[in-house]
Amino acid sequence: MTHTHCPYCSLQCGMRLERRGRAALEVQAWPEFPVNEGALCRKGWTAAGLRGSRERLTSPLVRDRASGELRAASWDEALDLVAARLTALRRQHGPDSVAVFGGGGLTNEKAFQLGKLARVALGTSQIDYNGRWCMSSAGSAANQAFGIDRGLPFPLADVEGTDVLVLVGSNLAETMPPAARHLDRLRERGGRVVVVDPRRTATAERADTFLQPVPGTDLALALGLLHLVVAGGGVDEEYVAARTTGFDVVRRTVAAWWPERVERVTGVPASELRALADLLVGAATVTVLTARGAEQHAQGTDTVLAWINLALALGMPGRESAGYGCLTGQGNGQGGREHGQKADQLPGYRMIDDPAAREHVARVWGVPADSLPGAGRSAYELLDSLGTDDGARALLVFGSNIVVSAPNATHVTRRLEALDLLVVADLVMSETAAMADVVLPVTQWAEETGTMTNLEGRVVLRERAVAPPDGVWSDLEVMAGLASRLGSPVAFPTDAEEVFAELGRASAGGRADYAGITYDRIREEHGVFWPCPSAEHPGTPRLFAESFATPDGRARCVPVEHRGPAEAPCDDYPVHLTTGRVLAQYQSGAQTRRIRDLPDDGPFVELHPMLADRIGAHDGDLVVVATRRGELKAPARVVPTIRPDTVFVPFHWVGANRLTNDALDPSSRMPEFKVCAAAVRT
Ligand code: SF4
């Protein structure tokens, strides 16, 4: 019996794996693990299904130059070939001719090692990862406001104690169902749940108050609420004076956002806005949680800052059962952004342009600080530059299915085609692996050990339960094999616990300090919350009780203005397109679409009966959604729960992201996945 965690989302539900026969696994509940108390969603219960998949890759594949087909190769042949071609490219075009792309599902150890591979073995600045597309706007806002980016600065269960919980752009009842029990318990003890979403989702059905704004207007909604809080004398002046800076400017900024103006922009009736402001002002404790619906916008950072300003005005962050948090999406969305996969960061959430941070990490790695490259391009910008005069000519991909998950995906696919060399490490032949020159088959969750950091900042341990199939290597072994062939000046350990100890030393003294966390402690304590700077330190479940992580200890209120989405509807593209997830699938679907027991109905287009009438579509008819970047044909799902001016497409299949907009948030570089102008027709 092995105690471990689900392979998918950021809740990182605890589960037990029981061996059945030689290699089969059975998922069982782990009731003692506090985050999910034994509950799992459908994806978790069926997680062992991928192990039996015939589609599992078990041999490296190399594209044959003559036939253009992929053929089986030995590990030596595949890695020798990759290393030789990377070395030639670096010699001819410099180190930045090689780029690395990681994922928010990689363990902390892999994310750390991938950053080291890029900066030490390859010497390239060109590394980023798909987590840039997940929670980076919330991260950017939290860094600005609080001086630290930990998605939830408190355990998730704390929301049960809040009087009013405001969920902005989160459908947690479908994306992480075990978390929805906190909403039920909150309501049982008399608390209120507020959901803000353009769709009346399963989460909205559990709410007391539901606001349905036009996609891309959550920022204006927050400004309008703060306007009413200020006008109604609801600001906690004592808290604002003692614990924040900059509120006076914010107070002036929101003065122009009277409710009728907000109604015109958001479509939310002024009466509903007033009722919600009254509810917030009258509550002893308020918790605001944002997720991708609010964050994946060209104004995502400002949108989150507007909701943080509201929480600060009410005096909530740092108070018990109150505050602001972000519900991270990917399994290691939190840890994946802390240990060096990001273009501008070094392990421990250190910034790569900070001389002291460079010195510290270089010392741990055993290389001179001036050998480390500087900041590279953000995820979309990196992909957009591939194969151009200025961009990389080779790309190594670990834990990401770019062809499905990148915005403006047709364009990104063309950039991948323009590469001299594409190398993909994956479990299965994902859409991105199918394009690669070299495919490297790697272990999956139950076959390897490593840590993840869940949405609460709790570091948990996934334990190996079964040996991998013959022919499969761990990502750590692949990175070590490449590093030695590239002539790395330092060692790349392949034992996850050894890598974690190095990560701990590299993170020591950084914002995300893991120095005091060990595998044994995680096992004994059901996870350890960072920062945890020493073996004696208990970890930090709750942040901000005394002060914020800014130089003066105060939260910063940052004035923001609503500009609206990068694309407004027009005559040719008159409706809003928004995208999201469904219960039975996860991210690009590379894993969940291959699990027999999970329904795979393919993409669909959700639209309101009024819109369906207008275009002459009935439920189940094939309809076409078109944007300036592409088209998608899929069956209509006619539902009264979506705004009549909006269509929704899930993004787990090829197609949805051919439609989405690559406009970037100026601070986080998050693409505007969540809204663009579209046309829909039969
Ligand atoms: S909620 Fe997330 S972590 Fe929990 S079982 Fe479902 S997919 Fe896995």
User: SS3 letters for 71-122?
Assistant: EECCHHHHHHHHHHHHHHHHHHHCHHHEEEEECCCCCHHHHHHHHHHHHHHH
Ligand 1: residues with CB < 6 A are: 6, 8-9, 11-13, 36, 40-41, 43-44, 176-178
Q: Pocket of ligand 1, candidates 5, 10, 156, 176: which has the most ligand atoms within 8 Å of its Cβ, to mutate?
A: 176
pLDDT at res. 592:
77
pLDDT at res. 597:
81
**Calpha distance 130→114 (Å, rounded):** 13
Query: Residues 128, 342: contact at Cβ < 8 Å?
Result: yes
pLDDT at res. 593:
77
* 3-state SS record for 580-634: ECCCCCCCCCCCHHHCCCCCCCCCCEEECHHHHHHHCCCCCCEEEEEECCEEEEE
Atom number, ligand 1, closest to the C-alpha of residue 9: 2
Query: Residues 540, 612: contact at Cβ < 8 Å?
Result: no
Residues 6+ apart with CB under 8 A from 49: 594, 595, 596, 597, 598
**Calpha distance 573→553 (Å, rounded):** 47
pLDDT at res. 293:
87
Q: Considering the entire predicted model, what is its pTM?
A: 0.95
Query: Residues 56, 428: contact at Cβ < 8 Å?
Result: yes
Name the helix (H) or strand (E) containing 421: strand 421-426
Helix (H, G, I), strand (E, B) or coil at 35: coil
* 3-state SS record for 359-395: HHHHHHHCCCHHHCCCCCCCHHHHHHHCCCCCCCCEE
What does residue 643 show for φ and ψ, rounded to 5 degrees? Answer: -60, 145
- Tell how far the Cα of 129 is from the centroid of ligand 1, in angstroms: 22
Structure tokens at 682: 């039969």
Query: Residues 121, 288: contact at Cβ < 8 Å?
Result: no
Query: Given the structure tokens 């047709």, which residue do they identify?
Result: 410
Residues 6+ apart with CB under 8 A from 112: 339, 340, 347, 499, 502, 503, 506
Q: Which of 458, 464, 331 is nearest to 2 (CA)?
A: 464
Structure tokens at 70: 């992929």
**Calpha distance 244→555 (Å, rounded):** 5
**Calpha distance 353→334 (Å, rounded):** 21
Query: Residues 334, 454: contact at Cβ < 8 Å?
Result: yes
Structure tokens at 637: 């799902």
**Calpha distance 660→657 (Å, rounded):** 5
DSSP calls for 534-581: STT----SS--SS--SSTTS-EEP--------SS---SSS-EEEEEE-
Atom number, ligand 1, closest to the C-alpha of residue 11: 3
According to DSSP, the residues that pair with 234 across neighbouring strands are none
**Calpha distance 558→84 (Å, rounded):** 50
Task: Give me the amino acid identity at 184.
Answer: D
Query: Residues 4, 446: contact at Cβ < 8 Å?
Result: yes
- Tell how far the Cα of 478 is from the centroid of ligand 1, in angstroms: 28
Residues 6+ apart with CB under 8 A from 264: none
Name the helix (H) or strand (E) containing 426: strand 421-426
Q: Pocket of ligand 1, candidates 4, 5, 13, 35: which has the most ligand atoms within 8 Å of its Cβ, to mutate?
A: 13
- Tell how far the Cα of 646 is from the centroid of ligand 1, in angstroms: 28
Query: Residues 519, 353: contact at Cβ < 8 Å?
Result: no
Query: Given the structure tokens 């089986």, which residue do they identify?
Result: 72
Helix (H, G, I), strand (E, B) or coil at 325: strand
pLDDT tens for 382-424 read 999 999 999 999 999 999 999 988 999 999 999 999 999 999 9
Q: Which of 48, 47, 46, 75 is nearest to 62 (CA)?
A: 75
Atom number, ligand 1, closest to the C-alpha of residue 44: 5
Alpha-carbon distances, residue 589 vs 40, 383, 498 (angstroms): 18, 21, 32
pLDDT tens for 26-42 read 999 999 999 999 999 99
**Calpha distance 48→44 (Å, rounded):** 8
Extract the residue ranges of the chain whose pLDDT is less than 70: 51-54, 582, 588
Alpha-carbon distances, residue 627 vs 213, 479, 578, 636, 676 (angstroms): 21, 40, 12, 17, 8
Q: What is the Cα 68 distance to its own chain's centre?
A: 35
**Calpha distance 425→60 (Å, rounded):** 9
- Tell how far the Cα of 331 is from the centroid of ligand 1, in angstroms: 9
User: Which residue has the CA at smallest separation from atom 6 of ligand 1?
Assistant: 41
Q: Which of 134, 50, 652 is nearest to 404 (CA)?
A: 652
Structure tokens at 286: 């308020």
Atom number, ligand 1, closest to the C-alpha of residue 45: 5
Structure tokens at 613: 């009438």
pLDDT tens for 428-438 read 999 999 999 99
**Calpha distance 357→360 (Å, rounded):** 5
Task: Give me the amino acid identity at 397.
Answer: V
**Calpha distance 682→675 (Å, rounded):** 21
The alpha-carbon radius of gyration of the chain (Å, integer) is 24
Question: Within 10 A of 371 (CB to CB), how many other CB atoms are there?
Answer: 13
Query: Residues 144, 300: contact at Cβ < 8 Å?
Result: no
Name the helix (H) or strand (E) containing 26: strand 24-29
Count CA atoms within 13 Å of residue 566 on its CB side: 20
Q: Which of 265, 99, 135 is nearest to 673 (CA)?
A: 135
Helix (H, G, I), strand (E, B) or coil at 252: helix
- Tell how far the Cα of 33 is from the centroid of ligand 1, in angstroms: 13
Q: Pocket of ligand 1, candidates 11, 581, 595: which has the most ligand atoms within 8 Å of its Cβ, to mutate?
A: 11
pLDDT at res. 642:
95
pLDDT at res. 52:
61
Structure tokens at 483: 């590093």
According to DSSP, the residues that pair with 650 across neighbouring strands are 580
Q: Pocket of ligand 1, candidates 5, 9, 171, 583: which has the most ligand atoms within 8 Å of its Cβ, to mutate?
A: 9
Helix (H, G, I), strand (E, B) or coil at 43: helix
User: Which residue has the CA at smallest separation from atom 4 of ligand 1?
Assistant: 13
Alpha-carbon distances, residue 372 vs 97, 126, 346, 503 (angstroms): 16, 12, 10, 17
